[in-house]
Structure 1
Amino acid sequence: MNIIQNFNTFDYFPFQPEFEILSDYYIEYKQRNSDHSTTLFYQFKINRDLMNPMSVIPDGCIDILFYCDPDSPSADVCGSVLKYKTINFQANCEYFGVRFLPKQETQHFKYSMKEVINRQIPLADMVKIGPTIMERLINERDFRRRIKLFKEEIGINIFACNELPAIIEYSLDKIYSSKGNVNMNQLAAETGYSTRYLRKQFDAHVGMPPKLFSQIVRFQNSLHMLLNKRAFTVWDVINENGYFDQSHLINEFKKFGYMTPNEFIDAVSGNCQTQYNVIDI
């Protein structure tokens, strides 16, 4: 007998630290949706050529990123990377992005979630868009009006329905609320399905195995705590996120190809130049 139940989602949302640290300005707005998921709208600009490209890290999310250059506009759907990679962003150009978790799965994309992981695909190849909508969004200068335009003209088609199987919805909520500390055998037992069936459903609707997704959630939670270094020590991060010891924490960071925890703290302390704003709408 299946025992899928309602589960209160932990207020979790991953981030890309270098977007916020290395941009000359960064602004964001988090929208809480009726299904208890969150959509992040953000905008940033780099006013000079960076000595090194920006890094993106695993976050388990999908981003729609608009390159707002009137002369050469573009928009891509970017699936979560599985290991950090660098991206060259254009100096003196504004970027507008929309980031969402797998819980907001869309059935309107022409590619499956698994096909999107670790890839960057033109938005026009993923979903049908009216010929003037892209131009209007790129030419719009106000962040709030860009959000409104996206929601009314693009998002309404992408997020028209949320029909995730109950096993996936329950599993995602459990992973988020436990900060990624979930035993897959236990999760399968709680949902009433086999681990094989659980992995198959995750491949279809999340794009990666549940164990890897859980590790990414734990990694992201650790980064959030390390950002608040005045409130948390490295040992707080280890204990709160279920790592065995400091070596376990460091090895997981290395698995995703990013800095060690101490290197991350130093980078955040020394490189933050951003005019940062979080807005209410």
Structure 2
Amino acid sequence: MAEKVIKKDFFMNYRSIPIQYCFSSDFEDYKECIVNYKNISVLYYQFHASSDHTMVVADGCADIQFCCDQDNVSSTIWGSVLTPQHIKFNAGKTYYGIRLSTSVSRRLSFFHYSELINTGVSLSGLNCFGKELSEKIALAQNFKKRILLTQQWLTAFGFFEPQKMDFIDHSINKILEDRGNMKISALAEYIGSSERLIRDKFTNAVGMSPKQYSRIVRFQSLIELILFDGRHKLLSLNDLISSSYYDESHLSKEVKFFADMTPKQFIKETSNVVIRRNTIASSLY
């Protein structure tokens, strides 16, 4: 019975895709859609870069972004940042991207995900499929057609094939389930392994320690609380503290680390962000 519960919870959390709120706040015509396939979920998004840069925050995920410019085709695969960073875009161009959950990101067959932390590399330079896809994405006329093209590419790389769970997947799942609040000692006991082995294997697979990842999950839970749960009410500091943090000092430290703001500044910055996260199910794969 316990095994079935774990698998069910894993399947649900496997679909968890974090938020990059600045794509919506800093750019125009931002849209996104999560497609739930049989085994994984993928977040597809698109925006018009009305400025030449924006800030990205830690999310533990890989993003693949395409500049939809027929005269300057380019694509970049980004790993998660650990602290807020500004990345550059070509102002006036449309960008299309996909975001993969942590469990899916770490299984990228064409690049070791842990080597992507705090950096990005050209997808076109990795393989001929990446270059071909970039050109097709640039020529596609709308968001829907770009999603269909990407699905074909993901299929060719076996993204939709069932994957056997390992203890890293179970660790990621448990961290997500507890919203980043489980101590590593308790995680080790749950998994049935030593803390040292979990730290070493997790860091090698994900590019960060389970403790770092837990902090990111807590911070992303905070973003979700403000953008989705708190959309129709004015949240207080107590609301944020009670969500995942011990006290105001702990909250302030974490928000400063991940967003370079005070909690009050963070609430003000994000409370006006509107993201309509459409979710659909696909039976194609």
Say whether 1:18 aligns with 2:22: yes
> Distance in 2 between the 1:276 and 1:193 partners?
40
- Choose from 262, 265, 268 the match for 1:266: 268
> Distance in 2 between the 1:108 and 1:265 partners?
34
User: What whole-Å deviation, never above 9, does each CA across 1:239-264 have from its counterpart, x for those lacking one?
Assistant: 121x1111100101112243222112
8 Å contact from structure 1 (residues 203, 209) kept in 2 = yes
Say whether 1:46 aligns with 2:68: no
Structure 1 partner of 2:208: 208
Q: Which amino acid aligns with 2:242?
A: N
Question: 1 or 2, which has the higher helix percentage?
Answer: 2
8 Å contact from structure 2 (residues 106, 205) kept in 1 = no
> Distance in 1 between the 2:164 and 2:118 partners?
22
Within a 5 Å distance, the mapping from 1:99-114 to structure 2 comes to 99-105=99-105, 107-114=107-114
> Distance in 1 between the 2:202 and 2:98 partners?
22
Structure 2 partner of 1:251: 253
8 Å contact from structure 2 (residues 77, 120) kept in 1 = yes
SS of the residue corresponding to residue 129 of structure 1 reads helix
User: What whole-Å deviation, never above 9, does each CA across 1:2-47 have from its counterpart, x for those lacking one?
Assistant: x894351446431111101121111111012323x43100000034
Which of the pair has the greater relative contact order for Cα pairs under 8 Å at 6+ separation?
1
Gaps in structure 1 of 5+ consecutive residues: none
SS of the residue corresponding to residue 256 of structure 1 reads helix
The aligned length equals: 272
8 Å contact from structure 1 (residues 113, 207) kept in 2 = yes
Normalised by the length of structure 2, the TM-score is: 0.85
How many angstroms does 1:158 deviate by? 5.7
How many angstroms does 1:280 deviate by? 5.1
Structure 2 partner of 1:133: 133
Say whether 1:32 aligns with 2:22: no
Q: Report the identity percentage.
A: 30
Which has the higher mean CA deviation after the structures are superposed, 102-111 or 183-192?
A: 102-111
Within a 5 Å distance, the mapping from 1:30-109 to structure 2 comes to 30-35=34-39, 37-47=40-50, 49=51, 53-105=53-105, 107-109=107-109
When residues 134 and 12 of structure 1 are mapped into structure 2, their CA distance, relative to the original with a 3 A threshold, is closer
8 Å contact from structure 1 (residues 106, 158) kept in 2 = no
Structure 2 partner of 1:181: 181
